Structure 1
């Protein structure tokens, strides 16, 4: 049985390890309980997502409904929607709004 809160499609994460450490990305796929697929719409496009160990990301308590609905309905999402979701999150966090529920995927 899975403990903790699992990652969800459309969830925004902060990459904590590797070459892209310190950058934000969106979960566009879940491989298994250890790995997720991440994309940001600019350097990392939806068609070529990064497979990342969940221990190397910080899960944020923000899910982009546009990204989630698009992937669940069509199996895809545009890179523009990914960029928009990340831009919206970054601008909201700079306004001083608190970021709730930071944690890990499992």
Structure 2
């Protein structure tokens, strides 16, 4: 089975949880375990050292990859919880708010 690019999570990509206790929350992909599972963390409730193993089918892959997180993991294999918090808050504040502002002007 050939997967399209949008269904393959990338390191540093922002995801929204669709199933489970943390439904609706945003996290960052920090490791790809196999074709079905990734490790996610947000730096706040879910720290880098205690990342959550999550089925890709239970995640919405947002079209945003944090370059800070991606570069840090590629260079050192780790990322600080502060960078994870920054990446999630930057996405929520900039990308989501921009989408909502665009929706207001459509009507």
Q: TM-score interval w.r.t. the shorter chain?
A: 0.7 to 0.9
Equivalent-residue separation in structure 1 for 2:31 and 2:4 (angstroms)? 18
> What count of residue pairs does the alignment treat as equivalent?
98
Structure 2 counterpart of 1:3: 3
Higher helix share: 2
Moved over 2 A (4+): 95-98
Q: How does 1:50-89 map to 2 (within 5 A)?
A: 50-89=52-91
When normalised by structure 2's length, the TM-score is 0.87
Larger RCO: Structure 1 or Structure 2 (Cα < 8 Å, ≥ 6 residues apart)? 1
Equivalent-residue separation in structure 2 for 1:17 and 1:53 (angstroms)? 9
Query: Bigger radius of gyration, 1 or 2?
Result: 2
Q: Which runs of 5+ in 2 are unaligned?
A: 103-107
Q: Which runs of 5+ in 1 are unaligned?
A: 99-106
Distance 1:9 1:97, change over 3 A: farther
RMSD of aligned C-alpha atoms?
Answer: 1.3
Equivalent-residue separation in structure 2 for 1:4 and 1:23 (angstroms)? 24
Q: Of residues 89, 94, 97 in structure 2, which corresponds to 1:94?
A: 97
When normalised by structure 1's length, the TM-score is 0.88
**SS at 2:48's partner residue?**
coil
